[in-house]
Amino acid sequence: MADLFDKARKYTTAKDAMKLGIYPYFRALSDTEGAVAHIQGKEVVMIGSNNYLGLTTDPRVREAAVDAVRRYGTSVTGSRFLNGTLELHLELDCRLAGFVGKPSALVFSTGYQTNVGVISALVQKGDYVIIDKDDHASIVDGCLMSRGEMRRFKHSDISSLEKVLAELPADAGKLVVVDGVYSMGGDIAPLPQVVEICKRYGARIMVDDAHGIGVTGGGRGTAHHFGLTDQVDLIMGTFSKSFASIGGFIAGDLDVVHYIQHNARSLIFSAALPAPNAAAALKALDIMETEPQHVERMWENAAYMREGLASLGYNTGNSNTPIIPVILGDDFRTALAWFALIDEGVYTNPVVPPGVPPGSSLLRTSYMATHRREHLDRALEAFKVVGERLDFVQPQQEAVPAAGD
């Protein structure tokens, strides 16, 4: 007779890495000030965070959260469907809708729950949901939890998307879901082409802009970046990146959001977002709306690092956002590079399959508005030292002084 727990006992991948001393995950940070952090007593430059605008440590955001704790306490102890909706949530719903340019928005407790709830509520038996192969896991799970059928197309490949749509019944409901900014590659979705194809085949469009809002379109997201806000049906965002909090939201037409509000199980059967998190997100939104310099500085830092990493000889793929992958290829050596960079005072994120395709292991780096030039130069020097030591890049030749210098 099979034991349900056999799979757990046979799972040794992580244990083997631990024995070799190269297991890089679930490492506890003892302190963080945004641009820098502390791990095992060592200060490191943090280039592994989604804190794009650096607002998690902004005193105004912190104070907003503290004030909300004093007024509302630490939890609402109920779902939004019943006793968990505060006036604070309604304000955030309204403000977010205006920010992304949609008539209505609805706040969920996490970004993951947003995708799972929205997709599983909308896609029913006889419907199809079509997703990019690089879409976030929460999108995949939303598809699997729906009663419809999932189809996938090659990453940002418009001909592949059209081929999938052309094979579906013309009278079936269709939802195409793409990331606005892809969290590993750092590339922006080709939204104009996606919109054109979806119109041709009568498909609705949802953009997961978890890594786009606060980053692209002056902070208002990928649809705004392309001037396509009115032509994208649903815009999803999270608070755990630029909004310096936790939570998520969906924005769209009034009747669609109303339907989701009454059919998304992850909303109806989960406790609502605690007031301190809602207040922090609201204050971050205030700052995004009134202080565009944070977005501008973030892009300047990203451009500086992209150029610096390329000059060292690193492969940064197709990134055109503040997410810059350093593609190393080999799983074992990627883990070694992560440890070596920690020793040099730099924190990155090692990503190996299935997080990326086989042979594409990488160090995911991302940049904030609060990184100073000295932080970035420290990171580049660390990448130079580690890259040469592990033979990822060729040693840089020192400039020879000209005669008479």
Check whether residue 147 and residue 25 sit in a common domain. Answer: no
Of 99, 333, 43, the residue nearest 213 (C-alpha): 99
CATH number at residue 165: 3.40.640.10
List strands edge to edge, sheet with 346-347. 29-32, 36-39, 42-46, 346-347
Tell me: pLDDT of 403 over 60. Answer: no
Check whether residue 24 and residue 70 sit in a common domain. Answer: no
Boundary-marking domain end, from 290, 318, 336: 290
pLDDT in tens, 318-350: 999 999 999 999 898 999 999 999 999 999 999
The residue segments making up the domain with residue 296 are 15-46+292-389
Binned at pLDDT 50, 70 and 90, residue 354 comes out as confident
* Residue-averaged pLDDT of the chain: 95
**Total domains present in the chain:** 2
**Confidence at residue 399, expressed as pLDDT on a 0 to 100 scale:** 47
**Confidence at residue 13, expressed as pLDDT on a 0 to 100 scale:** 86
**Mean pLDDT in residue range 195-218:** 98
Tell me whether residue 107 is in a domain.
yes
Tell me whether residue 53 is in a domain.
no
Angstrom CA distances, 171 to 120, 165, 174, 260, 339, stand at 20, 12, 9, 22, 53
**Confidence at residue 404, expressed as pLDDT on a 0 to 100 scale:** 54
Tell me: pLDDT of 405 over 60. Answer: no
Give me the helices (H) in 108-237, please.
Answer: 111-122, 137-145, 158-166, 191-201, 222-226
pLDDT in tens, 249-304: 999 999 999 999 999 999 999 999 999 999 999 999 999 999 999 999 999 999 99
**Confidence at residue 16, expressed as pLDDT on a 0 to 100 scale:** 87
Q: 163 or 30, which is more confident?
A: 163
Q: What is the pTM of this model?
A: 0.94
